[in-house]
Structure 1
Amino acid sequence: MVSYEDNRAQTKDFMGEPIALKDNTLKNRTKIRIIMKAYGPSIEKFSSVTQVLSALRDAIAAHKALLDRNIIHRDISPNNILFGLDECERGVLIDLDLALKSLGPLSEIPVDFRTGTRTFQSLMVLRSYNLNPVFVPEYDYLDDIEAFFWVFAYIVFTYAPNGDRLPFKDHRKLPQWLWNDGSPCLIFARKFTFLDSPSAALDAQDAMHPGWKATCCDLFLEFREFVHEISYEKQRLVYKGWKEHRRPAPDRFASLLAKVDEHYASLLGMFDAALKKVAEAGIDETCVEDSGVDILLILQEPIDERIHLPNKATITKADAKALNPTFLNRAPKGSNFKTEETVLVYLKRIQTLRKVWISCKKISRCSGDRAKVFQRLDPHLAFNNRNILKLVVVLFEGNIQMQAQKWITKNSA
C-alpha cells in the first residue's frame, strides 16, 4: 500500500434518520481511499499450470494475512487476483472496496447475495436470498475460502492449462453453476448439487481439459471435498441455538471458525503438494512463445525424413530430452537447441501447428463456403504468429489460400 485516506464520508450522513438504521438492519458504511502499487495482469492471463496454482496459493496466503489483521475481503474473483511482479509474490489479492473489519474470523455484517460476483459466491451467501433475515449468518472467512474454490473451478473448466480459452462448443459439458443466468436460489441449487452429488467428481473430470487431469485433478477433488465438508456443516448449523427471533444471532459456527489456522494450513498444503507434483513430473503446460526459429523447417522436409514428434496431448521435458540430440544435428546454423527447455518450447510450437492443421483439414472438408473457413480459424491465430499463417497458406490451395493471404496482409504487415 502506498497511501490511504480513512473516513472520507459515512452513508448515515446522507440517509437522515431511517428506522432501518436504528434497528440495526441497515449498516452504516464509511468511505475510504487506498492507493496501491500496480501489479501484473489478472489470473485469467496465466500461461501455465504452475503460474495459476502459484498465484492462487499466494492469494489464499494473502487472505490469511488480511484476516490476521481483522479484515475479511468479501469479493474474491479472478479480476481481484493478480500476478505479482518479477522476483516478488506470485499472486496478489487486490480490491478491498467491499472488505470489512472483522471480529477475528467473523464479521459483524450478515451475508448478502447482492455482495460479490454471483459465479463465485459461497452457498451461504446465495442462500441469504430466500432465508428469513433473522437466520442469516454473519459473513466469515470461510465464505471467502469457498469463493477461492469457485474461482479455481471456473479456471479449470473454461481454460486449457496453457491459458487458452476453451472454445464455446466445449461449454456444453460445463457445470451449470458457471452460467450466471439464474436467480441466487437457482445458482445455490446448482452449486449444492455439484458439491454434494456422488457423481459430481466424475462429471467434473469429464468436463476438464486433459491437461488439467494430468496436473492437478487431485488438488481439485481435495479442494472440492474441503469446501463440501464446510458448507455441509454450515447448512446443518444455520438454525442452531435459536429460541426466539433476535439479533445479534447466536455464534452458530464457533466450532468451525475455531479451526481457522488448521483450515488455512490444510489448504495451502494442498497447493504446495500440487505444485511439487507438477515440478517433479515435468508436466507443466506452458504457453508457446515465438523463439525466432523457422517453424517450417521440419514441415518442408520429405515426410520420411522428418523428426518423429510425440503424438500426445501433453509434451513433457522427458520428450524434449529424448529428442535433444536429434534437434542439435538437424538444426540450422545459429539455432539454439542446447537445452531441453529450448527443445520443449519448439516442440510445443509444433504441437500448436498440428492442432491448427487438423482444424483446417476438418473445416475444409465440411464447409461449403471456403471463404468462411479462414474466419472460423481466426481464434486459433489470435496470437498473430506469422509462421503459422504461412503454414495455413502452404496447406491449402485455391480460394482458401487467397483468403489466408489477404488475412496475412491485413494482420501481419
Structure 2
Amino acid sequence: MTPILEEELKDSIQMADEEYFQRVVVGRVHSSVRGTSESSIKAFVEQHPQYDCKRKSWKGVYKRPEAKLYSPFCELFESVIEDFKIENRAVIDTHKTEVHHREGSERLGNNDVKTSPDLFVFGKGSNFHSEKIDPSPQANYTYCASPCEVKTEQNLKEGIVTQVGVYARQCFIQQGNRKYVYSLVMTEKQAFLLQFDRNGVFRSLPVDIHKEPEKFVYFILLVCSPDPSVLGFDTNIYWRGDKRYIEMFDTDDTDTRARIEYEILRVDGRPFIFRRNIRGRGTVCWKVKDPTGKVRIIKDSWQADGRALEKDLLKKVQGLKGVGQMVACEDDRPSIEVLRGMEGHDLPDGISDRFPRRLVLEAYGNTIDNFTSRTQFLCAFRDAVAGHQNMWNKNILHRDISTNNILIGEDDAEDGNRGVVIDLDMAVELPRLASLAGVDFRTGTKAFQSIAVIASAEARAKGRKCPSHDHLDDLESFFYVFCWICMGYTAIGLPLDPPPDIHTRWETLDEPNLAVSKEHFILVPHGRGSETDEVTQNFGQLFQDVLDAYRSFLAPHISRKSKRDLKPQILEELQSSSKTDYATVLTILDTAITKLKEEETEEESEKRRSLQALILGRRPSPMPSPPRGPSSPSEGRSSSLKRGRNDRGDATVDDDVPPPKRPQSNSVSRTVSTASESRMQTRSHPMQSGEGKGRLRGRAAARGK
C-alpha cells in the first residue's frame, strides 16, 4: 500500500506559518496539560539531568547510529509524562515491535501486515477502548495516541511523510473516531510535527532541539496530551463499560430535536464501512440503535468546500425506493482549516477545505459484497440500479457507485428496497436546460470509475474537452461492481484468497493503463463475438449470461464516448434514451432473477423427491448437475480446493482441470440483441496478452497479486 499512499499524499503538504508554534502548539498545550506555562517548561529543561545547559545540548543525542537514539528520546518522553503528571499516556519503544495492520475488508483477514513505529505514545480512556478491556499488548494501533519516528539527519528523506503516513492510516482505520493524527519526527538535530488529516499532511517548521529545548518539550507535550480532542479524537464517540456510543441528534427537525446516545451494535465497537485512504472523504459508517431500540446507520464523512450538502440532496430523495433515507444530520463542526489552526491560509493547489458531516440514516444490511447467496446479491444489485434511476428521474446523479455504496436491504425488505444506494457525497443536482458537467477523474472510486471518467485525466492534462458525466457512466460503474463480486467471491459470499488479479489492476493501475484495461475487458469480447467464461465457475452460467448481456449493452456507448468531438449534453436530451437504457439493464437483471428462482425451485423439488425416495426405500433419481458456483459452505470449500487452494490457503496448481464449456445459448444476452447487432472490429491492444483469451478462463490456477 505504500506506493498508493505516496501517490495519495503527493502534493498535499501544507507548511505552517511562522506564528503557528506560538498560536497553536503553545495554546493547545497550555489548555490541555495542567500546570504548564512557559516558566514551568523552562524550569523542567534547566533541571533535567539529560540537558546540558552550558553546552546547550541533550546528552546522548548527537551524531550517532539511529539505533542509539531510541533510548534517550524514549527516556525524555517518559520524564515529560511523569513530571507533568499526564494521565492515561505512556511511551513505548516499538522500533523492534511488529504492530498488526487491518487492511480493507475484515472478511479478507489481512492481519499479516505489520509495521514498527520507533516510539509509540500509548493511550487509554473512554475514547480509546472499553474500560473493561485490558489493552494487551499495548503496542496496538487501536490504542495509539501518536506514532513517532526517529531518524538521523543523514537518512531523513521526504519519504518520511509516507512512512509515518502508514502508521497514521492505521490509526484512522482501527480507531474510527479520529479527525487527525499527530506524529513527531526527531533527529539528532531537529524535530518537526506532522498532522495527517482528510486533506493530506500538515507540517510544522522544524525546531532545533538543542538550541530551542523548550519548543521541543512543547512538541512532546502536544503529542502526549491527556485531552483526546487535542490529539484529534472525536469525543462524541466513546466507550462506557463494555459498550461504545455515539452522541448525536435524534431527528432532523431543528425545533424538536435532542441529543441522544446511539449504541454501536458491534461487540468490538468498530464501524462496518470505512475508507482506507487518509486523504479524501474518509467515510465511516456505524450500525447503531437509539434508546428505543430502533436500528439506524450513522455516517461520518468530510465534504469538500463548495459541494452541495448531502443532507440537502437526501431531503430531495425522501421516499424514493432503492435510496438510503435520512433521519437526522449534524454539519456545524470545525473544518480541516480550523483543526490545523490555519484559518485564512491557502491550501496547496487543487485542495479545498473539508467539513465534517454526520448523518443518521435508516438502517439497512451490510455492503453488497457481504451477501450470503446469489439471489440476495442479484436482487440487491437490481434494486440499487432501480434506485439510481429514481434519483436520476429527480435530476440527481450519484457519480460514485461502488461496493461500499450499495447496501443489502433488511431481511424483510419489500421489492424495490432489497438493495439501496447510499453516500451522496459526490452526487450533484443536474440542471435541466444547461450542459452537464464533464467527467472528472477525481470523482468516484477508482476501481469502479467509467472509462470516460478515467480517460478524463489525460484529456484534461492535454486541454481537451471531456464528455458529459451522465447516467451511463454510473451504469458502467454498476457493471464493474457486478464483475468485482462475481469474479472475486464464491456464490455464498466468501472472498477468494488471493483475489483475482483484475481486482489489483483496477485498484492500482495509473489512469492511462486502467482505461486501456477496462476498454479491453468490455470491447474486445464484444467485438469478436467470442464466448467468455469469467464467472461461470464461481456463480454459474446464468451470471455469465448477465455479464455478457450487460457488456454488450455498454460497448456501443463506450465506443461513442471515446470520440473527442462529443458535444456537451443537456439533461432533457437524455430523458428519452435514459428510460430505454435503464429498462434494458433492469430487463437483463429481472430475467436473470426469474430464471435463478426457477433454478432454485427445481433444485429444492429434486431434493424433496430424492429425500422421499430414500424414505420409501427406493434408489433416488440422479440429481441434476449443480451450478458451478457453490451454494453451500461445504461446496464453497471444495470449490476453493478445485481452484488450487488447500486448507492453509497455500497456492497450488491443478493443470489437469479443463475449463468448463459454455452452452451455446444465451437467453439473457438476447434481451440486448439490438444493442449488439453492429459488431466492432477487434483491434490490437496493449493489454491483450493479460486479459484476452486467457483471462481467468476456467480459473484453474489461483492468481496472486
Query: Conserved in 2, the CA contact under 8 Å of 1:105 and 1:257?
Result: no
Letter in 1 for 2:426: L
2:397 matches 1:79: no
Partner of 2:638: 355
Q: How far apart are the structure 1 equivalents of 2:411 and 2:358?
A: 27
2:583 matches 1:265: yes
**In the TM superposition, what is the alpha-carbon distance from 1:29 to its structure 2 partner?**
9.2
Q: Secondary structure at the match of 1:138?
A: coil
Greater strand share, structure number: 2
Could you say if the C-alpha distance between residues 16 and 66 of structure 1 is closer, same or farther in structure 2, counting changes exceeding 3 Å? farther
2:447 matches 1:119: yes
**In the TM superposition, what is the alpha-carbon distance from 1:42 to its structure 2 partner?**
0.9
Could you say if the C-alpha distance between residues 167 and 155 of structure 1 is closer, same or farther in structure 2, counting changes exceeding 3 Å? same
- Aligned residue among 367, 388, 402 for 1:63: 388
Which deviations, in whole Å up to 9, do the C-alpha atoms of 1:381-412 show, x marking residues without a partner? xxxxxxxxxxxxxxxxxxxxxxxxxxxxxxxx
**In the TM superposition, what is the alpha-carbon distance from 1:270 to its structure 2 partner?**
1.1
Partner of 2:515: 188
Partner of 2:431: 103
Query: Conserved in 2, the CA contact under 8 Å of 1:76 and 1:116?
Result: yes
Partner of 1:322: 609
**In the TM superposition, what is the alpha-carbon distance from 1:264 to its structure 2 partner?**
1.0
Q: How far apart are the structure 2 equivalents of 1:11 and 1:133?
A: 31
Query: Conserved in 2, the CA contact under 8 Å of 1:39 and 1:82?
Result: yes
Q: How far apart are the structure 2 equivalents of 1:159 and 1:357?
A: 10
2:405 matches 1:51: no
Query: Conserved in 2, the CA contact under 8 Å of 1:70 and 1:105?
Result: no
Partner of 1:35: 360
- Aligned residue among 558, 566, 576 for 1:240: 566
Could you say if the C-alpha distance between residues 280 and 27 of structure 1 is closer, same or farther in structure 2, counting changes exceeding 3 Å? same
Q: Who wins on radius of gyration, i.e. which is larger?
A: 2
Give the number of aligned pairs: 304
Could you say if the C-alpha distance between residues 202 and 42 of structure 1 is closer, same or farther in structure 2, counting changes exceeding 3 Å? farther
**Greater Cα shift, 196-205 or 44-53:** 196-205
Could you say if the C-alpha distance between residues 41 and 349 of structure 1 is closer, same or farther in structure 2, counting changes exceeding 3 Å? closer
Using the size of structure 1 for normalisation, the TM-score is: 0.61
**In the TM superposition, what is the alpha-carbon distance from 1:32 to its structure 2 partner?**
6.2
Q: How far apart are the structure 1 equivalents of 2:520 and 2:636?
A: 40
Partner of 2:544: 217
Q: How far apart are the structure 2 equivalents of 1:357 and 1:217?
A: 19
**In the TM superposition, what is the alpha-carbon distance from 1:36 to its structure 2 partner?**
1.1
Query: Conserved in 1, the CA contact under 8 Å of 2:483 and 2:547?
Result: yes
**In the TM superposition, what is the alpha-carbon distance from 1:255 to its structure 2 partner?**
6.2
Could you say if the C-alpha distance between residues 165 and 76 of structure 1 is closer, same or farther in structure 2, counting changes exceeding 3 Å? same
**In the TM superposition, what is the alpha-carbon distance from 1:16 to its structure 2 partner?**
8.4
**In the TM superposition, what is the alpha-carbon distance from 1:356 to its structure 2 partner?**
8.7
Letter in 2 for 1:130: E
Q: How far apart are the structure 2 equivalents of 1:144 and 1:356?
A: 33
Partner of 1:141: 471
Letter in 1 for 2:466: V
Q: Secondary structure at the match of 1:74?
A: coil
Could you say if the C-alpha distance between residues 187 and 349 of structure 1 is closer, same or farther in structure 2, counting changes exceeding 3 Å? closer
Query: Conserved in 2, the CA contact under 8 Å of 1:107 and 1:140?
Result: no
Q: Secondary structure at the match of 2:440?
A: coil
Q: Secondary structure at the match of 2:430?
A: strand
Q: Secondary structure at the match of 1:228?
A: helix
Q: How far apart are the structure 2 equivalents of 1:269 and 1:105?
A: 30
Could you say if the C-alpha distance between residues 319 and 234 of structure 1 is closer, same or farther in structure 2, counting changes exceeding 3 Å? same
- Aligned residue among 91, 111, 130 for 2:419: 91
Could you say if the C-alpha distance between residues 178 and 253 of structure 1 is closer, same or farther in structure 2, counting changes exceeding 3 Å? farther
Which deviations, in whole Å up to 9, do the C-alpha atoms of 1:289-330 show, x marking residues without a partner? xxxxxxxxxxxxxxxxxxxxxxxxxxx324413321255469
Could you say if the C-alpha distance between residues 111 and 73 of structure 1 is closer, same or farther in structure 2, counting changes exceeding 3 Å? same
Q: Secondary structure at the match of 1:259?
A: helix
**In the TM superposition, what is the alpha-carbon distance from 1:70 to its structure 2 partner?**
1.8
**In the TM superposition, what is the alpha-carbon distance from 1:162 to its structure 2 partner?**
2.0
Q: How far apart are the structure 2 equivalents of 1:272 and 1:212?
A: 17
Q: CA RMSD in A?
A: 4.2
**Greater Cα shift, 117-126 or 7-16:** 7-16
Using the size of structure 2 for normalisation, the TM-score is: 0.38
**Greater Cα shift, 48-57 or 194-203:** 194-203
Could you say if the C-alpha distance between residues 29 and 137 of structure 1 is closer, same or farther in structure 2, counting changes exceeding 3 Å? farther
Query: Conserved in 2, the CA contact under 8 Å of 1:112 and 1:128?
Result: yes
Question: Any unmatched runs of 5+ in structure 2?
Answer: 1-325, 618-622, 624-629, 651-705
**Greater Cα shift, 7-16 or 37-46:** 7-16
Q: How far apart are the structure 2 equivalents of 1:253 and 1:235?
A: 20
Could you say if the C-alpha distance between residues 106 and 11 of structure 1 is closer, same or farther in structure 2, counting changes exceeding 3 Å? farther
Which deviations, in whole Å up to 9, do the C-alpha atoms of 1:243-299 show, x marking residues without a partner? xxxxxxx43898666411111111111111100011112279xxxxxxxxxxxxxxx
Query: Conserved in 2, the CA contact under 8 Å of 1:101 and 1:107?
Result: no
Q: How far apart are the structure 2 equivalents of 1:357 and 1:141?
A: 37
Q: Secondary structure at the match of 1:207?
A: coil
Letter in 1 for 2:472: L
Q: Secondary structure at the match of 2:457?
A: coil
Could you say if the C-alpha distance between residues 2 and 122 of structure 1 is closer, same or farther in structure 2, counting changes exceeding 3 Å? same
Q: How far apart are the structure 2 equivalents of 1:12 and 1:105?
A: 36
2:594 matches 1:276: yes
Q: How far apart are the structure 2 equivalents of 1:158 and 1:60?
A: 21
**In the TM superposition, what is the alpha-carbon distance from 1:158 to its structure 2 partner?**
0.8
Q: How far apart are the structure 1 equivalents of 2:380 and 2:565?
A: 37
Letter in 2 for 1:273: T
Partner of 1:156: 486
Query: Conserved in 2, the CA contact under 8 Å of 1:81 and 1:92?
Result: yes
Q: How far apart are the structure 1 equivalents of 2:382 and 2:553?
A: 15
Question: Any unmatched runs of 5+ in structure 1?
Answer: 242-249, 285-315, 331-339, 341-346, 364-372, 378-413
Q: How far apart are the structure 2 equivalents of 1:82 and 1:357?
A: 26
Greater helix share, structure number: 1
**Greater Cα shift, 194-203 or 272-281:** 194-203
